[in-house]
Amino acid sequence: MTKLTLGSYPHLLGFEQLERLLERTAKSENGGYPPFNIEQTSDHSYRITLAVAGFREEDLSITVEDRQLVIRGRQVDDEGDGRVFLHRGIAARQFQRVFVLADGVEVGEARMENGLLHVDLDRAVPEPVVQTIRIRKG
Determine, yes or no, domain membership for 11: no
Q: Which CATH number covers residue 65?
A: 2.60.40.790
Mean pLDDT, range 94-111, rounded to an integer = 93
Three-state DSSP at 85 gives: coil
Its domain, for residue 85, covers 32-123
Alpha-helical runs (H) found in the chain? 16-27
Determine, yes or no, domain membership for 20: no
Q: Could you tell me which residue, 85 or 113, shows the higher pLDDT? A: 113
User: Which percentage of the chain shows pLDDT scores above 70?
Assistant: 82
Determine, yes or no, domain membership for 66: yes
Pairing relation of β-strands 105-113 and 116-123? antiparallel
Determine, yes or no, domain membership for 135: no
DSSP single-letter state for residue 87: -
Q: Could you tell me which residue, 9 or 56, shows the higher pLDDT? A: 56
User: Which percentage of the chain shows pLDDT scores above 90?
Assistant: 51
Determine, yes or no, domain membership for 19: no
Q: Which pLDDT score, from 0 to 100, does residue 76 have?
A: 77
The span from the CA of 1 to the CA of 69, in Å, is 36
Determine, yes or no, domain membership for 7: no
The span from the CA of 58 to the CA of 25, in Å, is 27
The span from the CA of 67 to the CA of 107, in Å, is 10
Determine, yes or no, domain membership for 137: no
The count of structural domains within the chain is 1
Three-state DSSP at 24 gives: helix
Determine, yes or no, domain membership for 27: no
